[in-house]
Structure 1
Amino acid sequence: MKNNLPKICYWCGVNLPLNNTTKEHVPPFTFFPKGYRDNLMTVPSCSDHNNNLSYLDEKFQFFIKAFKTNEIAINDLNTRVKRGFERKEKQSFIKNLEENSRSGKINGKPHWFLPLEQNEAELFIEKILRGIYFYHKEKPAKGIIQSISKRIIYENGVNTIAGVDFLKEDLSPDILSKGDYNNPKVFKYQYLDFRDMFVVFMQFYDDVEFIGWKYPENFSFD
């Protein structure tokens, strides 16, 4: 892993002191159980962008592990994550899960769909994409950032399964670069960097897939 990245915040680009030790794990540290923390990716961060979205880290580690797509996710969900949510201050979150979760199928297999607030999924993936972008490009990402996943149900009726399949077919593995990761059973990724278009295919615990992309800086929908 790189250890000589520019001393600026990966998100906002603010200059950081040379002795700055504030770093953002990509993806968050909470995703990695003991035994799977070998040489994790980190990027320099200001204190605001290291802390302001920490609530998403905890929520999404539960959201993604709850799909139980491999033994690592299942074991950590049933031990460390479960203990964390048994705390008194987490009861409102558990109540929300009980009231709003619903079941469904992905590729014919039953899955549990968990409630998310508006734009939380997009913001979480944006956070990771910005970290990966900075790690490879050594500058903050500028431009519109979007994402999609078969695991997210959007209220506007977007067919996410068809969208993901279309992107995977259009961007074949032959044109993607392998990411820099050391714990593939927890997280791995491939990316495309072409004319300021940056696309990342992310996989958590083998089979929870998200696709995020950054449009060129001067792109707009107008």
Structure 2
Amino acid sequence: MKKIKQQCYWCGKQATSREHVPPRCLFPTDKDVGALFKQSFRSELITVPSCDEHNSLKSGEDEYLMACLTAKVGNNFLAYAHTQTKLKRSLQLHKNLLDVEEKLNIMINEREFPVSIINVDVPRLSYSFEAIARALFFHEFRIQLKGRCVVASDMFLSPDASASESNQYFLNGITMIQKEQSNWNTPIKGKNPLVFTYQFSPVDEFGSQTLALKFYEQTDIYVCIGDMIKLKPYKKEFDVASKMLGLRK
């Protein structure tokens, strides 16, 4: 056990630091939101051993993930507070952090809120969610995830996405996972539920399972973890699903 703790959660190389899972930048500081919420959101955070490549060298990816998640319309008030503090400072320092297509105002409960429509870099976000999934797998089971990951979320689709075959396949897949999730009977974990919770499904007969991630109480991400040895007879179908969803192999 001592030896495995010295290995990077993702690649198995010598660990040089510990990575926060999810990235710590998703958790607001007391300085920014303490007066509003009267609690700390940076206590009892999960960490895993990591090499430089899978921690410090991807800090830019963590910031992009934070920007996309906190700015998503429909999240809780904590996410909104985060956009007015941490995200606002990040955008001042990095003008091109988000690819803004259009700015407009929307009405929510008779109040007007400024919003921006952004073009999401799906492969970039998929990489970040895969990193979270692999780190949580290591945290839960104390072994490195050797299989493949397919990441799915409706946040990858634009609000006016046409009802194309690929989009319908994508949404049908998410709906199927959501229906199955109610029967998982596994614990929902996360010490800061206003920011993040996660739940692993039971392992199926192919040695595969799904990880459900929830951010700011409203944004759901699903990571399907495939044991490619046991799934070898179904590799073609797995590849087709990955391609249809436009996700990482």
Call closer, same or farther: CA 1:180–1:212 in 2, change over 3 Å: same
Residue 153 of structure 1: how far off its partner (Å) = 1.5
Higher Rg of the two aligned structures: 2
2:170 aligned with 1:175, yes or no? no
Corresponding residue SS for 2:167: coil
Residue 139 of structure 1: how far off its partner (Å) = 1.4
Cα deviation, 1:110-168, whole Å, max 9, x if unaligned, reads: x8653123512221110110011111121111112101101112898433332211111
2:67 aligned with 1:56, yes or no? no
Displaced runs of 4+ in structure 1, greater than 4 A? 100-103
Call closer, same or farther: CA 1:217–1:101 in 2, change over 3 Å: farther
Corresponding residue SS for 1:49: coil
One-letter amino acid matched to 2:20: H
Cα deviation, 1:2-40, whole Å, max 9, x if unaligned, reads: xx9722100001244xxx5x1111110000012201100
Residue 93 of structure 1: how far off its partner (Å) = 3.1
Structure 1 residue aligned with 2:81, among 68, 75, 82?
A: 75
One-letter amino acid matched to 1:192: S
Is 1:125–1:147's contact at 8 Å kept on the other side of the alignment? yes
| Structure 1 counterpart of 2:154 | 150
Taking the aligned partners of 2:226 and 2:155, their CA distance within structure 1 comes to: 23
2:210 aligned with 1:199, yes or no? yes
Is 1:176–1:190's contact at 8 Å kept on the other side of the alignment? no
CA RMSD of aligned residues (A): 2.8
206-215 or 48-57, larger mean C-alpha shift: 48-57
39-48 or 211-220, larger mean C-alpha shift: 211-220
Tell which has more relative contact order, 1 or 2 (C-alpha 8 A, sep 6+).
1
Corresponding residue SS for 1:199: strand
Residue 217 of structure 1: how far off its partner (Å) = 3.5
Residue 176 of structure 1: how far off its partner (Å) = 4.1
Corresponding residue SS for 1:91: coil
Corresponding residue SS for 2:201: strand
One-letter amino acid matched to 1:151: M
Q: Higher helix proportion, which one? A: 2
111-120 or 38-47, larger mean C-alpha shift: 111-120
Call closer, same or farther: CA 1:174–1:137 in 2, change over 3 Å: same
One-letter amino acid matched to 1:30: C
Call closer, same or farther: CA 1:176–1:126 in 2, change over 3 Å: farther
TM-score (norm 1): 0.81
Unaligned regions of 5+ residues in structure 1, if any? 104-110
One-letter amino acid matched to 2:171: I
Residue 179 of structure 1: how far off its partner (Å) = 4.3
Overall identity of the aligned pairs, in %: 23
Corresponding residue SS for 2:54: helix
Is 2:61–2:124's contact at 8 Å kept on the other side of the alignment? yes
